Amino acid sequence: MQTDRRSFLKSAGAVTGAAAAFPTLLPSSVLGAEAPSKNIALGCIGLGVHGFGVNLNAFPAQGEARITAVRDVVHALRESARARVNKRYKNQDCKVFTDFRRIIEDKSIDAVVISTPDHWHVPMSLMAIEAGKDVFCEKLTKAIAEGGTLVNAVREHGTVFQMGLEDRSVPHYHKMVEWLRNGAIGDLERVEVQLPEGTIWPKAGETPVPEGTDYNLFVGPAPFMPYHPKLVVSKVWRYVSNFGCGSLLDWGSRQFDTAQFAVNAPEVCPVEVEGTGEIPTGMLTDVPVKFDITFRNSTGAEVHVKSGGTGIRLTGSKGCVGNAQWRGRLEARDPKILHTKHTPERSKHWPMPVGGHRNFPDCVKSREQPTCPVEIMHLLHASLHMGDLSIRLNRKLKWDAGKEAFAGDAEADALRVGPQPRNWQRGG
């Protein structure tokens, strides 16, 4: 009986352990460089700025992850991706699709890499999970409730789900939290986070959809809106609430994750949020472009998020540490902190993990929990969505973590769910 490729991957960790104990029982072809357990077939869905510029390069560099199929709604993007993949592997084997469902249905593909606009992340992930595939998905969720649905699906199917969030493996942010954990700045009192202001894009007259672009599949489950010439092939969609959530959630995912670690409750949403902001009217951009939000946590620490930069600062009872810009030079009230090192054995913070592109194929083989699992994706974005809704409703919101709902606010709770999905599933 032929071994199912995916079953082989799931049992790879056990096979490797057995080989260590009884090395003469397995031929070298099973554990060598060309072993099935080291050839994880990936299908890449979404080939825009990040999908093409980062993921299409980063995964092949891991060796064990091999891209075998690519997909985008834009003909030129998918053909460029196919050419790059074929050049990388020196063959002509890369499959190319317009419809992502063809990748999900392909039984030769073990896992998918989702790099689409935000509104597609959870629907595509759920379909891939149902088909038995593991998932690497870029941040973020589009509504609070759909994140909870995704968590349940991952748990039910035993899926390896990795969120694409590189900051957990960036030394600057790891060291900040490590120094805090080991008492360098005392008890945490507050975290200050700066995020870039959003970009305001004007509306444009309706234009015909270009040949070679499947706009129906771009819009997908979102409410339909007329085609805009910049919407599909650039990140303009990020500032349109149909498809994205703006700088607050996009950039916020990076910095707020470090903030959540700092308050020592990365798995718990803030219990209260209060914010103000500016949302353009009469423009294509309809998400907050300026914002000033305070998140209050059950630990007592506050996280203050404000537009106008990319820095983060942790302030404790004995000092502070942070930087003025993303991945910028670290600064501390007491400069000696910056030269303090902690061995893994003595540190009270977990060791800095490897990046997601390395971690994901490792976890596909071992079936271990990845660095940025689905629960973190859900609760991180739920917190930031709370800030967005506080701005839109112009009032303080309280969160019931046990019920995963807003306390005593029916209007906010309706927005927690998001709009009814559009019927997009026609041929393609």
Residue 103: give its domain's CATH number: 3.40.50.720
Q: Are residues 35 and 148 in the same domain?
A: yes
Domain assignment of residue 272, given as a range: 168-202+225-348+373-417
> Is 215 within a domain?
no
> Number of helices and strands (H, E) in the chain?
15, 15
> Is 367 within a domain?
no
Place of tokens 């998020």: 305
Q: Are residues 29 and 65 in the same domain?
A: yes
> Is 209 within a domain?
no
Q: Are residues 28 and 72 in the same domain?
A: yes
pTM: 0.90
Residue 397 reports pLDDT greater than 80: yes
- Do the Cβ atoms of 230 and 238 come closer than 8 Å? no
- State which of 166, 192, 215 marks the end of a domain: 166
pLDDT of residue 426: 63
Q: Are residues 49 and 141 in the same domain?
A: yes
pLDDT band with cut points at 50, 70 and 90 for residue 395: very high
Coil, helix or strand at residue 264 = coil
Higher pLDDT, 191 or 349: 191
Residue 423 reports pLDDT greater than 80: yes
Higher pLDDT, 233 or 357: 357
**pLDDT digit string, tens, across residues 270-319:** 999 999 999 999 999 999 999 999 999 988 889 999 999 999 999 999 99
- Do the Cβ atoms of 200 and 403 come closer than 8 Å? no
Q: Are residues 329 and 246 in the same domain?
A: yes
Task: Find the range with the poorest average confidence among 100-109, 263-272, 311-320.
Answer: 263-272
Q: Are residues 263 and 141 in the same domain?
A: no
Residue 428 reports pLDDT greater than 80: no
Q: Are residues 190 and 116 in the same domain?
A: no
What average pLDDT is seen over the chain?
89
CA distance 421 to 223: 7
Q: How many domains does the structure of the chain reveal?
A: 2
> Is 406 within a domain?
yes
pLDDT band with cut points at 50, 70 and 90 for residue 90: very high
Q: Are residues 263 and 116 in the same domain?
A: no
> Is 35 within a domain?
yes
> Is 217 within a domain?
no
Q: Are residues 178 and 44 in the same domain?
A: no
**Per-residue DSSP letter, 238:** G
Mean pLDDT of 394-416: 94
Q: Are residues 79 and 198 in the same domain?
A: no
Q: Are residues 188 and 158 in the same domain?
A: no
> Tokens at residue 321, please?
């540490």
Determine the distance from the C-alpha atom of residue 395 to the mean position of all C-alpha atoms in its chain, rounded to a whole number: 28
> Is 17 within a domain?
yes
Task: Find the range with the poorest average confidence among 181-190, 232-241, 303-312, 383-392.
Answer: 232-241
pLDDT of residue 425: 84
pLDDT of residue 323: 97
> Is 23 within a domain?
yes
pLDDT of residue 265: 61
Q: Are residues 327 and 296 in the same domain?
A: yes
